[in-house]
Amino acid sequence: MQTQYDYIIMGGGLSGLTLAYRMAQDAFFDAKSILIIDAAAKKENDRTWCFWESQPDIFEDIVSHRWSTIGFKSPVFSDEILIQPYQYKKIEGDDFYAFAKAYLATKPHISFLQETVLSVENQQHQVVITTAQQKLFGAKVFNSILNSELLESQSQHQYLKQHFIGWFIKTETPIFDPDCATFMDFTVPQKGNCRFMYVLPTSPTEALFEYTLFSKELLEDSEYETAIQEYLTKKGILQYHIQRKEQGNIPMSSYRFDKHNSKNMLHIGSAGGWTKASTGFTFKHTLKKTAALVGFLKTEKDFRLFSKRSRFWWYDLLLVDVLYRKNHLGAPIFGEMFKNNPTDRIFRFLDDETTFKEELQIIWSLPKKEFVKAVFSRLFG
């Protein structure tokens, strides 16, 4: 079996497969050997990705549902908001894996390997990957396998988690509006945290209810599920069947993952800091980062030159600092943001696409005291 590759991608999830898909679409890489390693077969519907777009992108064909209106609820502001020119979109995990892998299978220079990575060694001109069965050698390696210990063991950057359990339910009678997604409902009991319900109806009788927190500590599974059950009861939804469940834990931190890049190995996805620290959103940022990375690969050889901090990194850093110290402020912070800003400005801000003037408008609309404290803490320790 071949053991030497031009490119090796460790992890066949969102970032790994998206990068491979973009490389497969570009003739520049046709003569390059590319290997994707993952311990799992990636066939299960193990996650749901949601994101907003104003223009279709490369995975438009597998969007399973889209919403033109979002609901936002909090003690300071509640409304149903028409988000044109944006649409809020959903892609199922199994659809994504099947679509990307089917296309990649048509490319003879791209191969898959289902094995567990045991160790990675950076050498001067290559990276050596050891699995339980063999050693593999990559001229360039992309790692999307998150090392949570890096976050847990450091103290320079605060670390929150976006954690949740979701129920996909089906009701006996039509109840839901499939054109309106509840983006954040902060009217659930906060219990000293930043807690909200996220509701995605896909038909008059089907919806995903996801109890979500931005906080330091995970809960017992029963607490998430009890909260969903109580929310359904409060909404008068009593007769329903749970079709399936999903569970997740997404890192929210401005930790400098790029410090671990080397000349020949680049960390990507959540392992590379591609998850938006202030929200936990990853999908759209992965699309943008992989597009930039493919262009970078055509001109540059040293991976340490790829990652650059922007002013949005600082905004995320400050919000995570505030929520780490005063986690209960999540509802008023997001409430004031949606109350005082048009949704398209908020979306562009969260996509790192606003002007500095627009960013000042958003920042000025938020509760200021804790953010001033966070700035002084970062400046003066």
Pick the CATH number of 4-54+93-150+256-305 from 2.40.30.10, 3.30.420.40, 3.50.50.60, 3.40.50.12780: 3.50.50.60
pLDDT at 302: 94
Whole-model pTM above 0.85? yes
Query: How many whole angstroms separate alpha carbon 371 and alpha carbon 265?
Result: 36
Q: What is the mean pLDDT of residues 105-112?
A: 96
pLDDT at 9: 98
Q: Take residue 116 and report the two structure tokens written for it.
A: 């567990």
Asked if pLDDT for residue 212 goes beyond 70, the answer is yes
pLDDT at 308: 83
Q: Take residue 50 and report the two structure tokens written for it.
A: 């949601």
pLDDT at 377: 86
* pLDDT one-digit tens code per residue, 238-286: 999 999 999 999 999 999 999 999 999 999 999 999 999 999 899 999 9
Q: What is the mean pLDDT of residues 75-88?
A: 96
Asked if pLDDT for residue 380 goes beyond 80, the answer is no
pLDDT at 378: 85
Contact 176, 121 (CB under 8 A): no
Contact 91, 45 (CB under 8 A): no
Asked if pLDDT for residue 381 goes beyond 80, the answer is no
Asked if pLDDT for residue 180 goes beyond 90, the answer is yes
pLDDT at 1: 67
Contact 282, 249 (CB under 8 A): no
* pLDDT one-digit tens code per residue, 110-164: 999 999 999 999 998 999 999 989 999 999 999 999 988 888 888 888 899 999 9
Which helix (H) or strand (E) element contains residue 332? helix 330-340
**CA-based R_g, the chain, Å:** 21
Which helix (H) or strand (E) element contains residue 244? strand 240-253
Pick the CATH number of 159-252 from 3.30.70, 3.30.700, 1.10.1740, 3.40.50: 3.30.70
pLDDT at 118: 94
**What DSSP character marks residue 39?**
S
* pLDDT one-digit tens code per residue, 325-352: 999 999 999 999 999 999 999 999 999 9
Task: Please calculate the CA angle 165-168-169 and round it to the nearest 5 degrees.
Answer: 125
Across the chain, mean pLDDT equals: 94
Q: What is the mean pLDDT of residues 31-54?
A: 93
Q: Take residue 300 and report the two structure tokens written for it.
A: 């540059």
Asked if pLDDT for residue 198 goes beyond 90, the answer is yes
Question: Letter for the amino acid at 80?
Answer: E
Contact 43, 13 (CB under 8 A): no
